[in-house]
Amino acid sequence: MRIVTRKGLRMLSMSESDASDQSLDAADSPENGEAPSASEVRLVHAARNGDHDAFGQLVLRYEARVLKVVRRFIPELEMATDLVQESFLRAFERIEQFDPARRFGPWLFRLAVNLTYDHLRKVRRRGRWALFSDVGDDRSPDPAVADPRVELDLSQEVQVVMAEIPEAYRQVLILRDLEGFCTSEVAAITDRSEATIRWRLAEARKMFREAWERRARRADKTQLSQEVDR
């Protein structure tokens, strides 16, 4: 079992980066505070006035990043894509409710994350374990019964351990440590105060570390048992 630190989580996120992240203007990246860029302000104002082409430019600007975030919660591509499309449809329908003085990204990500969690809750009510259920092409490891002898790559191991963390804390950990949003952005996306986000993040990191260590101990115990049986 490999050791994954907070830095390791961020390195994992970086290793999964794709060219789509580069499509965002530097001023529109999640690390750049609360002020929207001039180009984004123009697009939002035009979209609010019924300009479909302007909204299309916002879609192009954010679509790949929104899909990447949604797939942190639902790896299955087809379902994640459907949720992204629904997110943009909802954003278009509610664009007049958006405050153009604020950044469009956090508002959009909030819509997408809320839709994603709504979907997961519906699935769970139907009695199916969904979160991270598509780890690998032919595996659905339930973290409660996952066999520590199964050789998973680092990304899959992180996903399985993540599934042990309660929803509200897992959400913050994914957005902050895996997706790299700053605290103020996570607060805007989740509609919580920055103080709450900082507290939940600290608790989530602790939960992740403890769950990771439990999994490591199970793997070590199984390996030791196998060596004794030889």
Give the predicted TM-score (pTM) of the model: 0.68
Q: What is the CATH number of the domain that holds 193?
A: 1.10.1740.10
Residue 219 falls within a domain, yes or no?
Answer: yes
Q: DSSP labels for 14-83?
A: HHT--GGGGGS-GGGSTTS-SPPPHHHHHHHHHHHTT-HHHHHHHHHHHHHHHHHHHHHH---HHHHHHH
Number of domains in the chain: 1
Q: Which domain holds residue 54?
A: 6-16+27-229
Burial of 22 (0-12, 13-18, 19+ CB in 10 A): exposed
- Domain presence at residue 1: no
In a domain, 114, yes or no: yes
Report yes or no on 22 lying in a domain.
no
Q: Does some domain include residue 21? A: no
DSSP helix/strand/coil, 114: helix
51 in any annotated domain? yes
Work out whether the CA dihedral 187, 193, 198, 200 comes out positive or negative. Answer: negative
- 52-57: long-range pairs with CB below 8 Å, 24+: 55/92, 55/95
Amino acid 150: pLDDT: 45
Task: Provide the residue-wise pLDDT of the chain in tens; the chain has 230 residues.
Answer: 555 555 556 545 544 544 344 334 334 444 445 677 888 999 999 999 999 999 999 999 999 999 999 999 988 899 999 999 999 999 999 999 898 888 999 999 999 999 998 998 887 776 544 444 443 333 344 444 444 444 456 677 788 888 889 989 999 999 998 888 999 999 999 999 999 999 999 999 999 999 888 888 877 777 676 666 66
Total residue length of the chain: 230
